[in-house]
């Protein structure tokens, strides 16, 4: 398995470097003057090797020589890419906007460097060319030596499948005592299956992460005495799996629903009495098999279970064999793939059941039932803490709990030291202990099923610690920066990355933990057990190195390309070679100040996870010419060095949550910058910001002069803008420029934040007079005195989220807000309205799901805010009424010192038919 993964990763690396070289030949030939022929030869060799790698990636067992060859191939691909990138960077790192004698001298020096760079790349490429030629020679040797293996691959695969024990078989033989936490789910599914008022054919999909017990749940329904007793005259259980064959599946159905031999003969028109049923089935075309199944099921009430479906194509091929009679028939589909679930339940998505991990309490109950003896299944007190630690690693996964519990049950002495040893080395045990191998086998199935372009995307998740909430945008931007994801056929890289992320979610490989206002996944997690799979593969394939208390250092001959720095990892071996490092992500507090020096190949530096003070020395990043991604988010640093301007390939700069208030003049050199994110503090920008033409996200900017506003107006691709106007009144020129700015950006802006810390309403005049309002806005924050909403607010048909504070609106302005058709999230902060009472009736707010109100008395009338799911009320002066009228409520948050209000809201939530979660706390 590891070699197959290696093949796919190498194939990906080769395709990437070959594509990069080809693009340079087409678009940047001048840079490659004198070495074009070498580059063309390398591209041709790499492309010729890639198909062989793809073919080999499907093989399960390869010899050691071929495995070593694969590792060499990967390193050569990386080395070639490093050489090309550094060469291009050297040629382009010319002095910025220098004139006179100084500029002439720098230009002359640059020409000399260019000659040296060309000589260096010529030498490097010739070495690479020799290496690739040597790889080709060995490729031919191995392909010939494996010719017999390749030619008989189908036979070998068949033999392998015959001896390979399917780990999922355990789900069919779970003892009754081990069915913990399944009753409620089983009752719901049984309710759908036995609903006599629903006569049409109904498909029920059970979807979720591998090992959650989907098959077990389906089996308890399938074997229910009511069903077995004859409610469904025809019933069949069909395991589909990854490598399905539709003809074989249709034959299974025919056998299990007991189609008699005469029906089969009638379909194919065969009168030869010497042929038995199996021979007749083998003679049938696929269409005849479908006809046979449909004919037998027609007019009957049937129950079919299609277990472990991985492809929508498999479902579509099976669906046509199911007659849609009105007899109350049911089909249950179990799958790890959300797309399969939604396709199979295309008629009615209400019958999609998402299987969840067990709670801590149910996990402990299942664990004890597996490990200890009936009837009380009690755990000795001295083992409870260690057992809890082991369960925490299982993270509610029944497969892991049952399997690990079985291992502990097989050790009759129940010794504390043995349990501690298992806890401390659980990852190794899962990979090497025969009794635990099924956990790894089942989880790896999901990974192996990924197309090759998604494998590195998923392995990249290994840089994050256990239970870490991973922000979707952070992850996608790093994919893009590293070249793991790129634009395809004109589709921007951002959209390709979003598709890749959604596919990982759809395949249940990442677990959504938070959603944004559009219902899009904002944060996700990786299950601990799947993270172990990722780290195991990453270590073998040198994809990422984790540096923590027990460093996961690769073999000596391997070069570290990606490094994740954890807490307490300052004990890095001093002679470790980090000169080939491409990506550095920190989750620790002990990074040496000089760490980034001489790391010339770094493309990504992400310090967001470190949460500590970091002093940026003047030359900290000055030599990182290839750096594209720099995140200092939440780092307590006070300024950026002037040398930030040397990072001329930088595309992403995040300084949110820092103590940086002023940007250096050299920031305008970063003309490839796409994202410049700051806040909540406003930043002072130097002149010349108009030169950053590629910016799509910008702010929060301290707009203290007309020129800055004019320059921002020239950034015509801006989608996200934040501007603050400080503590002084605005001049007439500033007001006119604000109106002009919003008109200029009306076709691009999707997110806008405006703040003014002066109790003056002259900014309203500027907003009222915007000639071409930004009507494509999806998110809007306004923190300034308006007195009433600008007229164009009523036309914001796409706005999803609005935040208002210090606006001092009139009560009737609520009418404008409630009529916005797409509004999902509304936050009304301090002084957003002039009144102290805010009331909501049954009118408007058709899609509002989250409402947050601060410092107002709130009342809700019957039928108000029908879509509202979460309400947050902060420091209400006197009253909160009508919580019981919010029919869709799931959560209510009340923060107040007033004990009466707090108890009243808690009581209302307790009596609410939805039983919403109630969070009652004191204000911050």
- pLDDT greater at residue 762 or residue 793: 793
- Token duo for residue 410: 């097989």
Q: Measured between alpha carbons, how far is residue 333 from residues 201, 340, 503, 585 in Å?
A: 13, 9, 19, 41
Coil, helix or strand at residue 660:
coil
What value does the mean pLDDT take over residues 54-65? 55
Strand-pair partners of 697:
675, 720
Confidence of residue 796 (pLDDT cuts 50, 70, 90): very high
Closest alpha carbon to 752 in 815, 692, 785, 799: 799
CB atoms closer than 10 angstroms to residue 352 = 17
- Tell me the DSSP string of 622-634: TT-TT--EEE-TT
User: Is the pLDDT at 156 greater than 50, yes or no?
Assistant: no
346-350, 416-420, 550-554 — which one is most confidently predicted on average?
A: 416-420
- Tell me the DSSP string of 819-888: T-TT--EEEE-TTSBSSSEEEE-SSS-TT--EEEEES-EEEE-TT--TT--EEEEE--SS-EE-GGG-TT
Asked if residues 849 and 825 have their Cβ atoms less than 8 Å apart, the reply is: yes
Per-residue model confidence as pLDDT tens digits over 19-29: 655 665 555 55
Per-residue model confidence as pLDDT tens digits over 811-848: 999 999 999 999 999 999 999 999 999 999 999 999 99
What pLDDT shows up at residue 112?
Answer: 44
- Token duo for residue 736: 């006119």
The Cα 279–Cα 230 span in angstroms is: 30
Per-residue model confidence as pLDDT tens digits over 374-388: 888 889 999 999 999
Strand-pair partners of 662:
684
Confidence of residue 96 (pLDDT cuts 50, 70, 90): very low
Note the Cα 900 to chain centre separation in Å. Answer: 43
What value does the mean pLDDT take over residues 278-289? 94
The Cα 871–Cα 892 span in angstroms is: 5
What pLDDT shows up at residue 8?
Answer: 42
Least confident of 24-38, 274-288, 568-582: 24-38
Strand ranges, E, within 543-688: 545-547, 562-566, 583-587, 604-606, 629-631, 652-654, 675-677
Coil, helix or strand at residue 581:
coil
Using CB atoms within 10 A of its CB, is residue 821 exposed (0-12), middle (13-18) or buried (19+)? exposed
- Token duo for residue 73: 């191939």
Note the residue count of the chain: 924
Cβ neighbors of 502 (< 8 A, separation 6 or more) are 521
- Tell me the DSSP string of 747-761: TT-SEEEEE--SS--
Composition of the chain by helix, strand, coil, percent to 5:
45, 15, 40
- Phi, psi angles (nearest 5°) of residue 6: -60, -45
Going by their DSSP bridges, the two strands 352-354 and 470-471 should be labelled as unpaired
What value does the mean pLDDT take over residues 102-115? 47
Confidence of residue 33 (pLDDT cuts 50, 70, 90): low
- Phi, psi angles (nearest 5°) of residue 529: -65, -40
What value does the mean pLDDT take over residues 268-279? 88
Asked if residues 430 and 532 have their Cβ atoms less than 8 Å apart, the reply is: yes
Confidence of residue 883 (pLDDT cuts 50, 70, 90): very high
What value does the mean pLDDT take over residues 666-673? 95
Q: Kindly give the interhelix angle for 398-409 and 437-448, rounded to the nearest 10 degrees.
A: 160
- pLDDT greater at residue 200 or residue 64: 200
Strand-pair partners of 853:
828, 873
User: Is the pLDDT at 228 greater than 50, yes or no?
Assistant: yes
What pLDDT shows up at residue 575?
Answer: 60
User: Is the pLDDT at 121 greater than 70, yes or no?
Assistant: no
Closest alpha carbon to 766 in 795, 794, 727, 733: 733
The Cα 52–Cα 47 span in angstroms is: 10
CA triple 545-552-425, angle to 5 deg? 135
Strand ranges, E, within 434-544: 470-471, 511-515, 521-525
Asked if residues 303 and 329 have their Cβ atoms less than 8 Å apart, the reply is: yes
Per-residue model confidence as pLDDT tens digits over 168-208: 555 444 554 456 778 889 999 999 999 999 999 999 999 99
The DSSP 8-state label assigned to residue 559 in this structure reads P
What pLDDT shows up at residue 151?
Answer: 39
Q: What percent of the chain has pLDDT over 70?
A: 79
Confidence of residue 728 (pLDDT cuts 50, 70, 90): confident
**3-class SS string, 102-144:** HHHHHHHHHHHHHHHHHHHHHHHHHHHHHHHHHHHHHHHHHHH
User: Is the pLDDT at 773 greater than 50, yes or no?
Assistant: yes
What value does the mean pLDDT take over residues 878-896? 95
The Cα 357–Cα 779 span in angstroms is: 34
Asked if residues 341 and 203 have their Cβ atoms less than 8 Å apart, the reply is: no
Per-residue model confidence as pLDDT tens digits over 630-662: 999 988 888 898 989 999 899 999 999 988 999
User: Is the pLDDT at 165 greater than 70, yes or no?
Assistant: no
- Token duo for residue 133: 């030629």
What pLDDT shows up at residue 330?
Answer: 97
Output the average pLDDT for the chain: 84
What pLDDT shows up at residue 852?
Answer: 97
Closest alpha carbon to 109 in 562, 331, 117: 117
Q: Measured between alpha carbons, how far is residue 513 from residues 50, 524, 545, 587, 850 in Å?
A: 38, 5, 26, 20, 17
């Amino acid at each position: 398995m590891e070699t197959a993964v290696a093949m796919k990763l190498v194939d990906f690396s080769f395709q990437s470097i070959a594509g990069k070289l080809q693009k340079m030949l087409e678009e940047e030939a001048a840079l490659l003057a004198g070495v074009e022929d070498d580059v063309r030869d390398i591209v041709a060799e790499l492309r010729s090797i890639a198909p062989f790698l793809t073919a080999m990636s499907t093989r399960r067992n390869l010899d050691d020589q071929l495995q070593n060859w694969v590792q060499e191939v990967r390193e050569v691909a990386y080395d070639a890419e490093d050489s090309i990138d550094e060469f291009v960077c050297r040629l382009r790192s010319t002095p910025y906007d220098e004139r006179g004698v100084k500029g002439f001298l720098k230009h002359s020096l640059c020409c000399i460097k260019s000659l040296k760079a060309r000589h260096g790349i010529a030498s490097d490429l010739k070495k690479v060319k020799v290496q690739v030629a040597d790889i080709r020679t060995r490729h031919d040797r191995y392909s010939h030596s494996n010719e017999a293996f390749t030619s008989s691959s189908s036979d070998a695969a068949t033999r392998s499948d015959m001896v390979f024990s399917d780990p999922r078989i355990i789900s069919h033989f779970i003892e009754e005592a081990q069915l913990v936490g399944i009753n409620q789910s089983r009752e719901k599914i049984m309710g759908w299956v036995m609903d006599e008022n629903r006569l049409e054919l109904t498909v029920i999909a059970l979807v979720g992460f591998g090992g959650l017990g989907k098959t077990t749940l389906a089996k308890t329904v399938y074997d229910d005495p009511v069903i077995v007793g004859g409610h469904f005259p025809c019933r069949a259980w069909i395991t589909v799996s990854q490598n399905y064959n539709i003809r074989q599946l249709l034959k299974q159905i025919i056998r299990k629903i007991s189609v008699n031999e005469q029906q089969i003969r009638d379909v194919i028109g065969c009168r030869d009495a010497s042929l038995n049923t199996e021979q007749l089935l083998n003679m049938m075309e696929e269409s005849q098999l479908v006809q046979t199944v449909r004919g037998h099921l027609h007019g009957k009430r049937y129950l079919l279970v299609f277990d472990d479906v991985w492809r929508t194509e498999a479902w579509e091929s099976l669906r046509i064999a199911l007659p849609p009679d009105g007899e109350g028939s049911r089909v249950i589909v179990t799958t790890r793939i959300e797309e399969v679930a939604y396709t199979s339940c295309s008629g009615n998505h209400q019958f999609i059941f998402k299987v969840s991990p067990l709670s801590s309490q149910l996990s402990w109950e299942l664990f004890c039932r597996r490990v200890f003896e009936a009837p009380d299944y009690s755990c000795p007190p001295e083992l409870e803490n260690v057992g809890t630690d082991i369960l925490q690693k299982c993270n509610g996964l029944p497969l892991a709990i049952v399997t690990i519990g079985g291992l502990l049950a097989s050790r009759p002495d129940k010794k504390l030291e043995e349990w501690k040893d298992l806890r401390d080395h659980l990852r190794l045990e899962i990979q090497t202990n025969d009794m635990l191998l099924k956990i790894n086998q089942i989880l790896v199935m999901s990974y192996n099923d990924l197309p090759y372009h998604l494998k590195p995307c998923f392995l990249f998740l290994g840089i994050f610690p256990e239970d870490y909430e991973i922000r979707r945008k952070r992850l996608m931007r790093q994919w893009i920066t590293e070249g793991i994801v790129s634009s395809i056929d004109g589709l921007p890289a951002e959209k390709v990355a979003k598709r890749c992320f959604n596919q990982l979610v759809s395949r249940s490989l990442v677990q959504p933990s938070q959603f944004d206002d559009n219902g899009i996944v904002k944060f996700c997690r990786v299950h601990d057990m799947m993270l172990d799979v990722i780290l195991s593969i990453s270590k073998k394939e040198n994809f990422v190195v984790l540096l923590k208390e027990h460093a996961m250092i690769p073999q000596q001959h391997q070069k570290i390309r990606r490094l994740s720095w954890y807490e307490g990892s300052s004990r890095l071996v001093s002679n470790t070679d980090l000169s080939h490092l491409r990506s550095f992500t920190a989750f620790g507090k002990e990074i040496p100040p000089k760490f980034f020096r001489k790391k010339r190949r770094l493309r990504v530096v992400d310090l967001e996870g470190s949460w500590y003070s970091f002093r940026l020395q003047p030359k900290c990043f000055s030599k990182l010419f290839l750096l594209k991604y720099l995140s200092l988010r939440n780092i307590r640093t006070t300024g950026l060095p002037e040398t930030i301007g040397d990072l001329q390939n930088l595309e992403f700069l995040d300084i949110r949550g820092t103590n940086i208030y002023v940007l250096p003049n050299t920031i305008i050199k970063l003309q490839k910058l796409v994202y410049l994110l700051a806040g909540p503090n406003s930043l002072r920008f130097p002149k010349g910001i108009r030169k950053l033409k590629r910016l799509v996200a910008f702010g929060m900017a301290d707009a203290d002069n007309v020129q800055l506003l004019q320059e921002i107006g020239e950034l015509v691709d801006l989608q996200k803008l934040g501007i603050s106007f400080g503590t002084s009144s605005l001049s007439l020129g500033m007001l006119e420029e604000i109106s002009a700015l919003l008109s200029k950006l009306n076709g691009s802006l999707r997110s806008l934040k405006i703040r003014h810390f002066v109790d003056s309403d002259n900014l309203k005049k500027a907003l009222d007079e915007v000639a071409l309002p930004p009507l494509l806005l999806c998110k809007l924050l306004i923190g300034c005195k308006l007195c009433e909403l600008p007229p164009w607010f009523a036309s914001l048909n796409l706005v999803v989220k609005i935040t208002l504070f210090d606006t001092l609106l009139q009560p009737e302005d609520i009418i404008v807000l409630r009529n916005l058709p797409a509004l999902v999230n509304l936050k009304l902060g301090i002084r957003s309205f002039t009144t102290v009472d805010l009331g909501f009736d049954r009118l408007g707010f058709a899609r509002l799901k989250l409402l947050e109100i601060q410092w107002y008395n709130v009342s809700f009338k019957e039928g108000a805010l029908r879509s509202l799911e979460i309400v947050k009320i902060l420091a209400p002066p006197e009253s909160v009424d009508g919580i019981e009228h919010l029919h869709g409520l799931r959560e209510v948050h009340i923060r107040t010192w007033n004990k009466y209000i707090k108890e009243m809201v808690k009581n209302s939530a307790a009596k609410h038919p939805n039983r919403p979660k109630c969070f009652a706390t004191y204000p911050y």
